[in-house]
Amino acid sequence: MLGWEFPPHISGGLGTACHGLTQSLAAQGVEVCFVVPRAYGDEDGRFVELVGCNGVALEQRADTLRDATNPSRESTTVMATDRASIIEGIERCFELLSVDSLLGPYMTEAAYAQRYARIVSEGNAARIAFEKEWNAVQALLAGQPAFREAGEQIDRIVRESSGGTLEFTGKYGPDLMVEVARYAVAVGEIARTRSFDVVHAHDWMTYAAGLVASAISGKPLVVHMHASEFDRSGENVNPRIHELEHVGLHGARRVVCVSNYTAEIMRTRYSVPSEKLRVVHNGVDHASVTPSVEAPPRTIREPIVLFLGRVTFQKGPDYFLEAAAKVVREEPRVKFVMAGSGDMLPAMIERCARLGLARNMHFTGFLRGDDVKRMYAMADCYVMPSVSEPFGISPLEAMANDVPVIVSKQSGVSEVLRHALKVDFWDVDALADKILAVIRHGGLGRALAEEGREEVRGLEWKRPATLVKEVYAEVAP
């Protein structure tokens, strides 16, 4: 299984979903080897073998397509520069393998370039040829007839991005596509030494690697679509990411979608045949969201309305602010919290000032672990005003913590929730009215909290894991 993050090192819901799914798959007897770009050694490895790709030098020895795609050839040299110590209490150890990566699962190209420029400005910039590593990936794909076209497309996408020669610090590339390529090279080498039945790739960053692993092993590829480029960027899609998504979706045997909402996008935007699609709604890990710490004593008596998520276009933080301004005109005592980080955060802080919300709006930055639980414990209402949300795990977490929830109708989670208020993301008047209803009418808030808590108990990861196992059985009977 291929993914870009795993708890506790996460930047959004992708890692949380992967954790819940793998844990429940393991409970149903599925052995999972989960490959991430970087393993830190403190991940929960009780139910999954976690393999990191950080710190390995790769040397491609085969020059011909035939040799490169021959499973019996001498394997590429893999040098592990570090090994995590065995963490007390876990059942498996972490084997640390190769490629360093600056790329995050929710990064735009601009954000990636900004992070890279900051690191380069600190010194240690070096130049290396990227041709050797990516030629290995190209050869691996081109040597398999079923993946020849995909290999050519991925090769073209990456070459357009990289220009062939790269500036980077240590092993960091200046282009996000290069990170995707380096990960694919490492995964290809890992696939040579592992025995497995299915390759399961989560979101676009891992699709190239999934194609490579499938080509090397001859095992079927299943891709999991958690969020498409249209969800993240609206109509202003990055054409290279969109094309790489397209290649992965059409190169896979099955496409797992986190909602019917997402499945429709796959059909209409990516021309994926309906017979290839399988809808598997996310679940919630009750152990991870059940309060394990006491909420700090509230120093204010005013109601608190919470936005918790990435502060990006997709999540609709601007609509949250506009609705907040309308609520404050009616109820000046209400406090709003925007918890999260993202490329729109500076603009939201400025917009907050222009709307006169400085006394009512609080920005916490990115929260994790117990801080998230404390925030839920303090909230009187949770709002998810997403513009396009394939699923949305955070409303389930809020409901598990007895918080009344308002969600966008443009979300997958709205398909499964009955005890949540729903609103079109763009209708800030309706959103403001619903917030006011929750904080003014205690009976409504209590009913939503109580019924929501009971409802979310039935939305565990067991059912999604069972459905994913059925997908595995379809492609690898």
Instruction: Examine the pLDDT at 382 and tell me if it is beyond 50.
Output: yes
Instruction: Examine the pLDDT at 128 and tell me if it is beyond 90.
Output: no
Residue 146 is predicted with a pLDDT of: 37
Percent of the chain with pLDDT over 70: 70
Domains of the chain by residue range? 13-283+465-475, 286-457
The predicted model gives 83-102 an average pLDDT of 32
Instruction: Examine the pLDDT at 147 and tell me if it is beyond 70.
Output: no
Residue 189's beta-bridge partner residues? none
The predicted model gives 415-425 an average pLDDT of 95
Phi and psi for 446 in degrees, rounded to 5?
-65, -40
Angle ∠(380,321,355) on CA atoms, nearest 5 = 120
> Nearest to residue 249, comparing CAs of 238, 257, 237?
257
pLDDT digits (tens, 9 = 90+) for 386-413: 998 999 888 998 998 899 999 999 999 9
> Nearest to residue 380, comparing CAs of 449, 322, 325, 428?
449
Residue 248 is predicted with a pLDDT of: 92
> With bands split at pLDDT 50, 70 and 90, how would you rate the model's confidence at 59?
very low
Residue 189 is predicted with a pLDDT of: 78
The predicted model gives 137-143 an average pLDDT of 53
| Higher pLDDT, residue 75 or 309 | 309
Residue 164 is predicted with a pLDDT of: 42
The amino acid that residue 88 corresponds to is E
> Nearest to residue 418, comparing CAs of 453, 393, 464, 445?
453
> Nearest to residue 61, comparing CAs of 37, 38, 41, 78?
78
Phi and psi for 156 in degrees, rounded to 5?
-65, -45
Residue 289 is predicted with a pLDDT of: 54
Residue 182 is predicted with a pLDDT of: 74
Structure tokens at 438: 């929750």
pLDDT digits (tens, 9 = 90+) for 96-122: 233 444 445 545 556 655 655 554 454
> Nearest to residue 220, comparing CAs of 256, 193, 185, 244?
256
The predicted model gives 402-428 an average pLDDT of 95
Alpha-carbon torsion 425, 427, 432, 434, what sign? Answer: negative
3-state SS track over the chain: CECCCECCECCCHHHHHHHHHHHHHHHCCCCCEEEECCCCCCCCCCCCEEEECCCEEEECCCCCHHHHCCCCCCCCEEEECCCCCCCCCCCCCCEECCCCCCCCCCCCHHHHHHHHHHHHHCCCEEEEECHHHHHHHHHHHHCCHHHHHHHHHHHHHHHHHHCCEEEEECCCCCCHHHHHHHHHHHHHHHHHHCCCCCEEEECHHHHHHHHHHHHHHCCCEEEEECCCHHHHHCCCCCHHHHHHHHHHHHHCCEEEECCHHHHHHHHHHHCCCHHHEEECCCCCCHHHHCCCCCCCCCCCCCCEEEEECCCCHHHCHHHHHHHHHHHHHHCCCCEEEEECCCCCHHHHHHHHHHCCCCCCEEEEECCCCHHHHHHHHHCCEEEECCCCECCCCHHHHHHHCCCCEEEECCECHHHCCCCCEEECCCCHHHHHHHHHHHHHCHHHHHHHHHHHHHHHHCCCCHHHHHHHHHHHHHHCC
Q: Which CATH number fits domain 13-283+465-475: 3.20.20.10, 3.30.360.10, 3.30.950.10, 3.40.50.2000?
A: 3.40.50.2000
Phi and psi for 65 in degrees, rounded to 5?
-65, -40
pLDDT digits (tens, 9 = 90+) for 446-467: 999 999 999 988 888 999 999 9
Superfamily of domain 286-457: Glycogen Phosphorylase B; (3.40.50.2000)
The predicted model gives 166-190 an average pLDDT of 60
Instruction: Examine the pLDDT at 422 and tell me if it is beyond 90.
Output: yes
pLDDT digits (tens, 9 = 90+) for 234-279: 888 888 888 889 989 999 999 999 999 999 999 999 999 999 999 9
Instruction: Examine the pLDDT at 31 and tell me if it is beyond 60.
Output: yes
Residue 174 is predicted with a pLDDT of: 45
Instruction: Examine the pLDDT at 36 and tell me if it is beyond 90.
Output: no
> Nearest to residue 378, comparing CAs of 362, 389, 393?
362
The predicted model gives 54-73 an average pLDDT of 36
Instruction: Examine the pLDDT at 150 and tell me if it is beyond 90.
Output: no
Residue 323 is predicted with a pLDDT of: 98
Residue 135 is predicted with a pLDDT of: 55
CA atoms within 13 A on the CB side of 387: 18
Residue 294 is predicted with a pLDDT of: 65
